Structure 1
């Protein structure tokens, strides 16, 4: 197994060890053994990062010099491209990505999202004329100015770390903010590379800072509570998102939250590609570790037995074609760590206890290696009130739910605390009408691509607040300032 380079902190323009030289082991999901070491940031290190980011925002021209920051963000992108091989190794050995997934969401889609940000940057509105209005005995001209919010804490997860890191860091930089990136403890290298390449690109000191450590909460909680941090952008679990809102409330912290999901894919009885629409929901890619995956498959009662037969054949056809770190055709590897393995297995047992029927999979696979392997799993005979239908499992576990008619399908899709993504497949007009009634942030009709770097992404309900990617993703990091003055004074 490859040994990754040590992951170092990046604070105020310097790559450095943690205070006191503290480190922790980075564990490979494939082997369960150390694959590298990372700096273990202390409270002193986090404080230094906050001070650096605050100073860079308040006392340099970073927030006002759009041409300078655009040029640096473009150079930064070129350096990431030159390090594509290293990015792939980090995805495999930190995040547990299979080789067939690296050139999809983990690296290629991530860098493509960066390109999308650059492509839409000229559509960001920095000034808007609201016209004149008469009042108080004179006429005023009103103009809105859009300016960066300030210091941003970007707190990111381990599932597709490069993709999420780019989603936050690049948007914040383009908006003119300074950034403190805090990646998850499992994937520090995918954050550390932002510091390494920022140094090479020549960013001003303090504009980009990267801190991480073995404690998943220390750095994040410090930044959330600190009044010098203006905005927290967080992707992760709904439970942690609620805690961030609570801890940020005393300083009225502005937050962007991209949280959990239990997205539904509805296949209609008039689908022209029924088998394909069912098979595309097989929850295999990256072991189902995605917030927007469609983990609830809704099929009509009239075709339920047909759908079960299709899935049974599909999963049987997949067989053992997953979990080989050296196979470039595989798109599924292990789950991230032992805790997640135990969580997924716990939900599988819960599904059995609730009375669902295990159609395929359901077991840990230690024969695949010493890492954290669990079989692709599908439950049928599921009702929407079961916990496996309501709670985010974040593993390769699909649940299949029958519905009576269109109204019943919409009801089931909406009876969820979450509302992040989803899909409807069938005759176009019918599918579109249903898509508009599903309470979720994005819907793919007939497998339309509803998640991409040039369009906004985010959720309803417990799936979050705000939007990432596209023009809206950059605008999340802007404040609105209205300026008015008497026309006669112009």
Structure 2
């Protein structure tokens, strides 16, 4: 069992691992049409894992052709719901059989701790199963007409869906995108991040083994400015689903307007506030959750609780507890099950995080702990958990998404001030609220401008609830039945019965 594997076991398994590096187009693994490749680097060691096919517009055109042909043939789009369900359940079963391998691929590719990767795999498998089980349980509608007419509301697949996923949760985000899109009957083209393509390519092989028809699921590794842009500009892609930065999300919407007005669903940046009121029950437990909310996955989390808002009457005592928990969350070898934090995904992101830390010091924030690169593994890219106090909304670390293990602490004296601070952001992906006052919980939850509010927890939820943001955190929702609606079209059929 995965839970019983030791650090040495994971190191051995990593050494035995092989990598699929070719694109999956149609029903075959092929090199990029240009022959170009890019390096996959292990950020924990700096060592090259593989060279991966670098797809561009020519590969996108080929994949879109296969996807459209499969959709038009009805190999998947018109397959009986029960048959699609069984194919997706086979895929989930294969993913479960290869859970250690898939987890290792994400850990080696982007540096997250193996324990976190295993949790991601469980979530990805659950997502595929959840969406498979919904396929034969969704009904159409009969409109309330008079006896002379019959109005039917049918739900049909859109066609070709392009999914562009991020590097921080490679396979879990992939499942969130492709699960409902496939369940709805679409053909899906996946572009994984160039920073973490390996698990997506392994998933393609498993999808092939599960019996998904040719052209229904394809994987194009490559860069956003080449393969991603080509998907967004394609006149034959009907929908684009993206998780990543707000800046790139805006570009994709422009490309959609320049092409065929394809639907664009975006889950973009975040600068999530975590509000702690003085009446919360257990300061130490809440402080641990607050630390986990920012240091989990090295802070490379769209909903990271990067803004900690604490009532001033308890702020100093609370921050001291957060600092104590941060000491127990130091980065380590991602292959060690005991490591809470792993490596930063690449040198660019590593330098960006350190630049924000230097800027925080220069702007006058109080650096309480961390703030430096560390080296638990020689050659790796690691940053210590970092906490700034006395942060103001004007500081870069208080407004901009760092996407690293950097916590900005604010103080407040009243509920009104707390809500104003929390909402003073261009983002609105998530928010946390810690209090035992049910009246306050109801008031503040409604006033927070956020797609999701976690009350007396952080990042709670499962596949039954939607995930997504407001403002410049994007639109649309992943997870739950609501996500299937985004990958399907409503068709009205009106029948005259009185002729």
TM-score by length of 1: 0.94
Deviation of 1:120 (Å): 4.0
Residue of 151, 154, 159 corresponding to 1:145: 154
User: What corresponds to 1:314 in structure 2?
Assistant: 325
Residue of 100, 107, 110 corresponding to 1:85: 100
Deviation of 1:407 (Å): 1.0
Q: Which runs of 5+ in 2 are unaligned?
A: 1-13
Over aligned residues, Cα RMSD in angstroms?
Answer: 1.7
Report if the CA contact (8 A) 1:267-1:278 is conserved.
no
Of 309-318 and 140-149, the range deviating more from structure 2: 309-318
1:19 and 2:33 matched: yes
Residue of 405, 414, 435 corresponding to 1:426: 435
Report if the CA contact (8 A) 2:116-2:297 is conserved.
yes
User: What corresponds to 2:242 in structure 1?
Assistant: 234
User: What corresponds to 2:257 in structure 1?
Assistant: 249
1:55 and 2:66 matched: no
What are the equivalent positions in structure 2 for 1:168-207 lying under 5 Å apart? 168-207=177-216
Moved over 6 A (4+): none
Residue of 29, 52, 55 corresponding to 1:41: 55
CA distances 1:74-125 after superposition (whole Å, capped 9, x unpaired): 1111111111121011111002111221222x21222222233234445433
Q: Which runs of 5+ in 1 are unaligned?
A: none
Report if the CA contact (8 A) 1:375-1:396 is conserved.
yes
1:481 and 2:491 matched: yes
User: What corresponds to 1:222 in structure 2?
Assistant: 230
Of 13-22 and 436-445, the range deviating more from structure 2: 13-22
Aligned residue-pair number = 480
Deviation of 1:450 (Å): 3.7
Secondary structure, counterpart of 2:199 in structure 1? helix
Aligned equivalents of 1:114, 1:220: Cα separation in 2: 24
Aligned equivalents of 2:92, 2:217: Cα separation in 1: 14
CA distances 1:28-49 after superposition (whole Å, capped 9, x unpaired): 1111220122112243222110
1:8 and 2:8 matched: no
Aligned equivalents of 2:362, 2:279: Cα separation in 1: 34
Aligned equivalents of 1:188, 1:313: Cα separation in 2: 36
Deviation of 1:317 (Å): 4.2
User: What corresponds to 1:69 in structure 2?
Assistant: 84
Aligned equivalents of 1:366, 1:446: Cα separation in 2: 34
TM-score by length of 2: 0.93
Report if the CA contact (8 A) 2:157-2:186 is conserved.
yes
Residue of 444, 447, 460 corresponding to 2:470: 460
Report if the CA contact (8 A) 2:44-2:342 is conserved.
yes
Deviation of 1:12 (Å): 0.8
User: What corresponds to 1:435 in structure 2?
Assistant: 445
With over 3 angstroms needed to count, the CA separation of the structure-2 counterparts of 1:160 and 1:370, relative to structure 1, is: same
Secondary structure, counterpart of 1:228 in structure 2? coil
With over 3 angstroms needed to count, the CA separation of the structure-2 counterparts of 1:4 and 1:482, relative to structure 1, is: same
Secondary structure, counterpart of 1:342 in structure 2? helix
